[in-house]
Amino acid sequence: MASNGDGPWTRRGRRGREQYVVLAAAAAQVGSLIEIQPTKEMSRAMAPAKTSQTWPNITNASEIESWLIDMDGVLVREEHPIEGANRFLDLLRRTETPFLVLTNNSMFTGRDLSARLKWNGIDVPEDHIWTSALATAVFLDSQRPKGTAFVIGEVGLTTALHEVGYTLSDNNPDYVVIGETRSYSFERITKAVRLVGEGKRFIATNPDPTGPSVHGPLPATGAVAALISKATGKVPYFVGKPNPLMIRSALRRLNAHSETTAMVGDRMDTDVVAGLEAGLHTVLVLSGVSDAGAADHYPYKPSRVVTSVEVLADELEKSLS
Ligand SMILES: [Mg+2]
């Protein structure tokens, strides 16, 4: 849908623009006979249309006004920085381009993740990090402000919920919320199974069955949610990628617009599809999970495929020189 440049949002803009083009053309004709001052709208209409020229076929990173950047496989891989990642982030900072680093991992707070990235040689301040835990908290706050939740998860999730005014409770909670943790307790899972079985609203921060580690894959939120689903016959609502809700909440956080924002990710089945469904430009990097061959088999495609963020950094650098 994002590939033909004719989505409903552009159409509406174009229709409004056409009216001013007609007015401006008429004014130009009359203007040769009488002195006429074009209005701001007329001048804008006669100028090249920026949106239709630059969207959706971006050819250069400098055409993008804001960025959502996946973390694993884009900036870091197995606790090492990916070539060009720091240079790309530095250029975004230097040009005061708004950006957020996204992760489906709900275990850590933004501060923890900022510190972990720093150990891995990547400099991202905590307020530039957007996790599925933060997206879940924003979502629950919008649905049932100041509610209660029974939570299986770590500080990344419990802090996010506290910060939006949620209370953690085992007793008749509004929601059962499952997030990432490394210390699952049989008692807590039993409690969650009983609450969901009784009909409590079931939420999970992200659907990932496994997460990456230097020692190999780890069971992640999706795997534990599946355990509760198997026991109850109920499936949770997943907030993290590929749900475009996570992308939209990140856009709101940046005060950015989808048409001028790019989502950069290494996975077709999460980053690219979520970015596409939220109406963003999508850039697939080949430095992580999806390779170019596999990407070609999906029924949707990214706006661009690049080897790594280094290509984007080169383009931004060139546009500054
Ligand atoms: Mg990734």
**Residue 183 DSSP symbol:** -
Q: How far is the CA of 70 from the centre of ligand 1 (A)?
A: 5
Q: Cα–Cα distance between 171 and 156 in angstroms, integer? A: 22
Identify the pLDDT of residue 108.
Answer: 96
114 within domain boundaries: no
- CATH number, domain of 163, equals 3.40.50.1000
Q: How confident is the model at residue 68 (pLDDT cuts 50, 70, 90)?
A: very high
Same domain assignment for residues 186 and 223: yes
Q: How confident is the model at residue 119 (pLDDT cuts 50, 70, 90)?
A: very high
Give per-residue pLDDT as tens, 77-116: 988 999 999 999 999 999 999 999 999 999 999 999 999 9
Q: How far is the CA of 127 from the centre of ligand 1 (A)?
A: 19
272 within domain boundaries: yes
The answer to whether 93 and 109 have CB atoms below 8 angstroms apart is no
126 within domain boundaries: no
Identify the pLDDT of residue 124.
Answer: 96
Identify the pLDDT of residue 49.
Answer: 41
Same domain assignment for residues 152 and 232: yes
Structural domain count of the chain: 3
Q: How far is the CA of 20 from the centre of ligand 1 (A)?
A: 44
The answer to whether 11 and 29 have CB atoms below 8 angstroms apart is no
Residue that is last in its domain, among 19, 37, 54: 54
Q: Cα–Cα distance between 165 and 173 in angstroms, integer? A: 14
Q: Which of 28-37, 92-101, 120-129, 276-285 has the lowest mean pLDDT?
A: 28-37
123 within domain boundaries: no
Same domain assignment for residues 47 and 66: no
Mean pLDDT of 133-161: 98
Q: How far is the CA of 271 from the centre of ligand 1 (A)?
A: 7
Q: Cα–Cα distance between 117 and 289 in angstroms, integer? A: 19
Mean pLDDT of the chain: 86
Residue that is last in its domain, among 238, 270, 293: 238
Same domain assignment for residues 234 and 252: no
Mean pLDDT of 35-52: 43
Q: Which of 112, 92, 142 is nearest to 245 (CA)?
A: 142
- Judged by DSSP in three states, 177 sits in strand
Range of the domain at 259: 61-104+242-320
Q: How far is the CA of 246 from the centre of ligand 1 (A)?
A: 14
221 within domain boundaries: yes
Same domain assignment for residues 267 and 310: yes
- Judged by DSSP in three states, 260 sits in helix
Q: Which of 6, 70, 266, 271 is catalytic?
A: 70
120 within domain boundaries: no
Q: Cα–Cα distance between 171 and 100 in angstroms, integer? A: 36
Same domain assignment for residues 228 and 277: no
Q: How far is the CA of 143 from the centre of ligand 1 (A)?
A: 28
Determine how β-strand 237-238 pairs with β-strand 201-204.
Answer: parallel
Identify the pLDDT of residue 107.
Answer: 96
Which residues lie closer than 8 Å to 135 by C-beta, 6 or more apart? Answer: 205, 239, 240, 245, 246, 249, 250
Same domain assignment for residues 190 and 220: yes
Q: How far is the CA of 170 from the centre of ligand 1 (A)?
A: 33
Q: How confident is the model at residue 57 (pLDDT cuts 50, 70, 90)?
A: low
Give per-residue pLDDT as tens, 198-247: 999 999 999 999 988 888 889 999 999 999 999 999 999 999 999 999 99
Please say if 296 is a catalytic residue. no
Same domain assignment for residues 99 and 246: yes
Q: Cα–Cα distance between 114 and 110 in angstroms, integer? A: 6
Is 59 a residue whose pLDDT tops 90? no
127 within domain boundaries: no
**Residue of 170 and 48 predicted with greater confidence:** 170
46 within domain boundaries: yes
Give the rounded distance of the alpha carbon of 297 from its chain centre: 23
Mean pLDDT of 146-153: 98
Identify the pLDDT of residue 9.
Answer: 35
Give per-residue pLDDT as tens, 248-305: 999 999 999 999 999 999 999 999 999 999 999 999 999 999 888 888 999 999 999 9
Q: Report, in angstroms and rounded to the nearest whole number, the Rg of the chain calculated over CA atoms.
A: 23
Same domain assignment for residues 246 and 98: yes
The answer to whether 183 and 200 have CB atoms below 8 angstroms apart is no
Output the pTM of the full model.
Answer: 0.81
Same domain assignment for residues 291 and 234: no
Indicate the burial class of 83 (C-beta count within 10 angstroms; 0-12, 13-18, 19 or more). Answer: middle
Please say if 70 is a catalytic residue. yes
Same domain assignment for residues 286 and 306: yes
CA distances 65 to 146, 254, 257, 288, Å, are: 34, 11, 9, 24
Residue that is last in its domain, among 238, 266, 291: 238
Same domain assignment for residues 265 and 170: no
